[in-house]
Amino acid sequence: MKKILIIEDEKNMRKIIKDYLIRENYEIIEAEDGEEGLNKFFDNNIDLVILDIMLPKIDGWSVCKQIRNKNKEVYILMLTARDKDNDEIFGFELGADEYITKPFSPRVLVAKINRIFKKDMELKKDNKLEIDKLLIDKDAHRVYYNESLLNLSPKEYELLLYLVENKNIVLSREKILNNIWGYVFFGDIRTVDTHIKKLRKKLSNNYIETVRGYGYMFSFKE
């Protein structure tokens, strides 16, 4: 059973999210402030975190950063009442995988989480991909570059795998957004650019090309 941690100071909001997720047979752990959220995260084997930004004691930004510094694999889905592009980009820079603006439909949230876990299972079915200095171990959900393990967030891993599996094919930002974040994604298309920038840094600016005015391509000739 997948374990989800909800870090949200609004009691009614926590209850609504919890009730919907329990119906899907998820195990739910709750926290009403950032400090409690961090303690419960590190005391449990959490698969996904639903994290509000405006929290007492420790804000969501700081919670996200601390979680991501210790755990590169857990999925972090941030909630906020603010709808600003800069907030969204900042969240991704800290390691968030999704960014949802309140108010939102609980059913859509549940559908998104179901999709996340379904895609995660599909990604783990195959074995390994090896291209040049890059090795993707799908079973372990790990990526090695020059034999060194890369610290990738779940979305960075998913994005890189998608690019590699479509190597030498130009992919539009819209296509990448739809395939990696899904049609119910609430954010901005610049989300793709932010994650590409982070991947390029970790890959020493190798492989990922920009196709001006269109999108990106994982470029490698056998």
Residue 11 structure tokens: 């009691």
* All domains in the chain, ordered by first residue: 3-121 (3.40.50.2300), 125-218 (1.10.10.10)
Instruction: Assess whether pLDDT exceeds 70 at residue 190.
Output: yes
Instruction: Assess whether pLDDT exceeds 90 at residue 121.
Output: no
- Residue 92 is predicted with a pLDDT of 75
CB 88 within 8 A of CB 187: yes
Task: Compute the average pLDDT of residues 35-39.
Answer: 97
Which of 26-30, 126-130, 217-221 is the least confident region? 126-130
Encode pLDDT of 41-92 as tens digits.
999 999 999 999 999 999 999 999 999 988 988 999 998 876 655 666 667 7
Encode pLDDT of 84-118 as tens digits.
556 666 677 778 888 888 888 999 899 989 988 88
User: In whole numbers, what is the pLDDT of the chain averaged over residues?
Assistant: 88
Instruction: Assess whether pLDDT exceeds 90 at residue 125.
Output: no
Instruction: Assess whether pLDDT exceeds 80 at residue 39.
Output: yes
CB 46 within 8 A of CB 38: no
- Residue 184 is predicted with a pLDDT of 56
Task: Compute the average pLDDT of residues 161-176.
Answer: 93
Beta strands in the chain (DSSP E): 3-7, 27-31, 48-52, 75-80, 98-101, 128-131, 134-137, 142-145, 148-149, 171-172, 208-211, 215-218
Task: Compute the average pLDDT of residues 155-167.
Answer: 93
Distance CA 208, CA 167 (A): 9
Task: Compute the average pLDDT of residues 7-18.
Answer: 96
Q: Name the pLDDT band for 193 (thresholds 50, 70, 90).
A: very high
- Residue 100 is predicted with a pLDDT of 85
Query: Which of 3-17, 181-195, 205-219 tops mean pLDDT?
Result: 3-17
CA dihedral 110, 111, 113, 117 (to 10 degrees): 140
- Residue 99 is predicted with a pLDDT of 82
Backbone angles phi, psi at 97, to 5 degrees: -100, -30
Instruction: Assess whether pLDDT exceeds 80 at residue 171.
Output: yes
Name which of 35, 63, 181, 210 is nearest 112 in CA terms.
181
